[in-house]
Amino acid sequence: MLTDSENLSKNATPFEDWLRTRDAAFRKRHLIPNLPSYSFDSFEDFANARTAMIVAALKALNESWHVGAGSPGEGNSAEFDGDEEDDDTKDAPGPGEEGRDFTKFDVEINGTRHEALSKRRAVLTVVKRLSAQGVKPEEIAELIPWRGNLFCSVDGTVTGDQFVAQQKARVDSGEKRRYFCEDGDLIHTDGRTYALTNGWGKRAFQAIQNLLVKLPDKGVKCEKHPE
């Protein structure tokens, strides 16, 4: 669906001409396939390709919702429910928590070192830096394919309170907040505001490594904090 401003900008402009004015993030957000031509003669090719993209997106959404609801699955349910509540404050397991992973991480950004960060805070620090360097949320999500519902987003540049008001059903689960929604934790890009999930389990370091291996020139390093 186009926003009011997008609809006005298109007006009577032929679709093929108008689409040339849209960036890659817009095409990805609206599931627009990459085709050599978007003329009326290519409508059948466009319809078939976009149908396939929509079906794939719906399947992925369905799987991620099942994961979020606690259905069993490789890795994902643990990623969501592993350590959100006290991950930032504990350094070691307490009674009955021997299976929990309280590994800390050191993240270095252009020589500035952030030490003993929790898993979720380390991931957020890396993702925020990459976003500041122009890496799009869609690109980040592609590099962590096992983690469903990586971002939650809304149109416009909004504050944390405004974000939560618009997306409360998604960002909150019972008494737990599932996304980073504080003002300083939000990501603003391409006319949208994004919140990163705060549910990270044992594959958090793998997620960070995936990002840094694929994006090695962003001035970020990460390693496990010495015990």
Per DSSP, the three-state class of 97 is coil
**CA–CA separation, 186 and 180 (whole Å):** 7
Tens of pLDDT, residues 180-201: 999 999 999 999 999 999 999 8
Say if CB 131 and CB 109 are below 8 A apart. no
pLDDT over 90 (residue 137)? yes
- Non-local (6+) Cβ contacts of 96 within 8 A are none
> What pLDDT sits at residue 73?
31
**CA–CA separation, 75 and 82 (whole Å):** 10
Residue 105's closest CA among 126, 86, 84, 85?
Answer: 126
- Angle of helix 204-214 relative to helix 119-132, nearest 10 degrees, comes to 20
Tens of pLDDT, residues 32-83: 888 888 888 888 888 888 888 888 777 766 655 544 443 333 333 334 434 4
Residue 9's closest CA among 34, 33, 25, 26?
Answer: 26
Residue-range domain boundaries for the chain: 4-68, 81-224
pLDDT over 90 (residue 143)? yes
DSSP E strands: which ranges in 19-117? Answer: 105-109, 112-117
H or E segment to which residue 1 belongs: none
- Beta strand pairing status for 187-189 and 192-196? antiparallel
pTM given for the model: 0.59
Token pair in block for residue 171: 């960002």
**CA–CA separation, 86 and 205 (whole Å):** 18
Tens of pLDDT, residues 29-41: 888 888 888 888 8
